[in-house]
Amino acid sequence: MAYVLGYLYADGSLEDASYLRGKYLRVTSVDRDSIVRIRKWLESEHTIVVSKPPIGRIRYLLRIGSHKIYDSLTKLGLYPNKSLTIKFPAIPDKYLSDFVRGYMDGDGCVSLYTKKGKKKDVIVKKLSVIFTSGSFDFLSSLCEILRRKLQLDQGNVYKCQRCFQLRYSTNDSIKLFPFLYRKNLKDLFFKRKFVVFSKYFKLRPQRIEPCMRSLLR
């Protein structure tokens, strides 16, 4: 499933515990609902482990021991300690939007910037989509693929303190919406990011293209 693979490229990792003759898929998040849904999609009944550090947010871990899953994921481009060196995989066009949406749900964000007007109305300043990774090559490839497929204009990869970010401003973020949230998705997305898009289009209905109307119902 391309969506789950995209999510695992973001928030998953592989562990080869040779001393135990074990191979594991690990998925971590500060969002318990995310882990619960990924466990469901992976058809797993493994326990979700909760860790409470002295400082910082509670983290949730799903750890699945399976040589079959591990070996399958390595064939799809994942490997241990991938975060700084992972490459963008060869994804067929028909699965690309699912993969990118999964990655965004794991390591991306959708932000809406507004301010109050003089009449206490809401003024929209900017809609932004951001993808984050430790790998510059991964984001550069994603940027080029999306630019070519969607005719995006201004996506750029920026160096942050501990990662890289691919950032899109309003016009390109609008183009990304129907690509990410096509019809018949069922529940294969996290609703929080979709809600931000929906809020933007509610405030700016003139930006809704005909192809988007059925997606926003």
Express each pLDDT in 50-97 by its tens digit.
998 888 899 999 999 999 999 999 999 999 989 899 999 999 999 999
In the numeric block, which tokens belong to residue 194? 């979709």
Average pLDDT, the chain: 91
Residue in 36, 9, 215, 212 with CA at minimum distance from that of residue 108: 9
Question: How confident is residue 129, by pLDDT bands cut at 50, 70 and 90?
Answer: very high
Specify the fold of 99-213: Endonuclease I-creI (3.10.28)
| pLDDT of 145 above 80 | yes
Tell me how crowded residue 119 is: count the other CB atoms within 10 A of its CB.
6
Contact assessment for residue 41 and residue 1, using Cβ atoms and an 8 Å cutoff: yes
Q: Are 95 and 182 in contact (CB under 8 A)?
A: no
User: What value does the mean pLDDT take over residues 110-118?
Assistant: 86
The pLDDT of 25-37, averaged and rounded, is 91
Top-tier CATH class for 2-80: alpha beta
CA separation for the pair 185, 174 (Å, rounded): 19
Q: Are 149 and 96 in contact (CB under 8 A)?
A: yes
Distance CA 157, CA 141 (A): 10
* CB-count exposure of residue 88 (10 Å: 0-12, 13-18, 19+): buried
Domain boundaries, the chain: 2-80, 99-213
Mean of the pLDDT values across residues 137-149? 96
Asked if the model's pLDDT at residue 119 lies above 90, the reply is: no
Q: 2-80 and 99-213: same fold?
A: yes
